[in-house]
Structure 1
C-alpha cells in the first residue's frame, strides 16, 4: 500500500482508495439500494436514496481532517470504477479504531474488500500509529468474517442477540488485531 497524504489516497495492486465526492452519490445510491447489502450492515438504510448518499458523503472530508473517521471509496486503480466503501474510525483516547466496509454486489467474491482492508490496516498501524484495529460482523454474514480473518484479525468474542435487524436479533462477532501482533 502506498499512502499519499496530500491527496488522501491509497493505492494497492488493483485498487485506489480515495475520499468520496458528491459526484459519487449516484453510484453509491445504486450500489447501496440493494437489500442484500442492507441486511448485512448495521446502519445502512433501505431503501437507499440519493439524499442518503449525499448526506453520508457531506461530512467525510471534515471527519478525515479532524482525525475522527477515515472513509474511502474503493475504486478500480485503472478505470476509477467505484466498487464500495471502507472506513476506519479513530478512537484517539484508546489508540484504536473500527474497520468497516461494504462492496456492491456486482463486485463480490473478487477480493476487493480483503485488498482494501489490508491497506486500511497498513494505514492504521504505519501512518496513524494505532495500537489496535477491530471489526465486527453479523453471524448471518460469514463472508464478511472471512475477509476479516484473511487480514489476520483474531476472533475475540460473540455478542449474542446484540442487535435487532428486521424484527430478529443478530449475534455480532468481534475480531481484533494489535500492531505488534500483526506478524504472528
Structure 2
C-alpha cells in the first residue's frame, strides 16, 4: 500500500526491515511513549523494531503502516479491527517522531488514511482514543474532521496516574473528498 501526501513529500506505506534504524531513532522517545498504549515499549530497542515490523506485516487484527518522508520512516499509523457489534467501527492509532511535530504532517496523514479506509473497506466509523493532556493529538483529530464524542473519566492508567479518555470519531459521510 502506498499513499502520498503533502505534495508527495510524505507517504503512508508498508513497514519494511530497512526501517529498523529509523524506527528505533524516533520511537525511542518518552515524549511519544507517554501518549500511546503500554504495548508500545520504552525504551525502544532494535529487537522491538524488528518484532513490530514482523508483526505489522503478519497480523489479522488490524492494519499498520509506516509514515515516511523522502529519506526514512518518521512515524506510524494504523487501525485495530473491532469484533461483534463493533465490527464496523475501527480504532485509529498513530505516532510521529518528535522532530516532525507541529508541521501539519500528522493531520494530513490522518486525513489521507481516513479517506483510504472509507474508500477501501466497508466500515461505518473510525474512532480514536486520546489521553487527557494530549492537546496536540486532539488538535490533529479536530483538524482532520474528527468530532469529540465524549470523555470517559479516569479510564486510562498511564504514568502511575488515572487519566480521562477523550473519544473522537468520524463517520463515513463526514469525510471530505
Q: TM-score, normalised by structure 2?
A: 0.90
Contact 1:132 1:178 in 2 (8 A): yes
Question: How far apart are residue 137 of structure 1 and its match?
Answer: 0.8
Question: How far apart are residue 92 of structure 1 and its match?
Answer: 5.9
Question: How far apart are residue 150 of structure 1 and its match?
Answer: 0.8
Match of 1:116 among 109, 114, 117: 109
- Corresponding residue of 2:132: 139
Gaps of 5+ in 2: none
Question: How far apart are residue 81 of structure 1 and its match?
Answer: 2.4
Secondary structure at the counterpart of residue 58 of structure 1 = helix
1:51 aligns with 2:51: no
Structure 2: distance between partners of 1:33 and 1:58: 18
Secondary structure at the counterpart of residue 161 of structure 1 = strand
Structure 1: distance between partners of 2:74 and 2:52: 17
Change (3 A) 1:22 1:138: same
Question: How far apart are residue 134 of structure 1 and its match?
Answer: 0.6
- Corresponding residue of 1:4: none
Map 1:92-131 onto structure 2 (within 5 A): 93=84, 94-131=87-124
1:32 aligns with 2:27: yes
Contact 1:11 1:17 in 2 (8 A): yes
- Corresponding residue of 1:83: 74
Q: TM-score, normalised by structure 1?
A: 0.87
- Corresponding residue of 1:3: none
Structure 2: distance between partners of 1:87 and 1:50: 21
Structure 2: distance between partners of 1:70 and 1:18: 11
Gaps of 5+ in 1: 1-7
Contact 1:98 1:135 in 2 (8 A): yes
How big is the alpha-carbon RMSD for the aligned residues of Structure 1 and Structure 2? 1.5
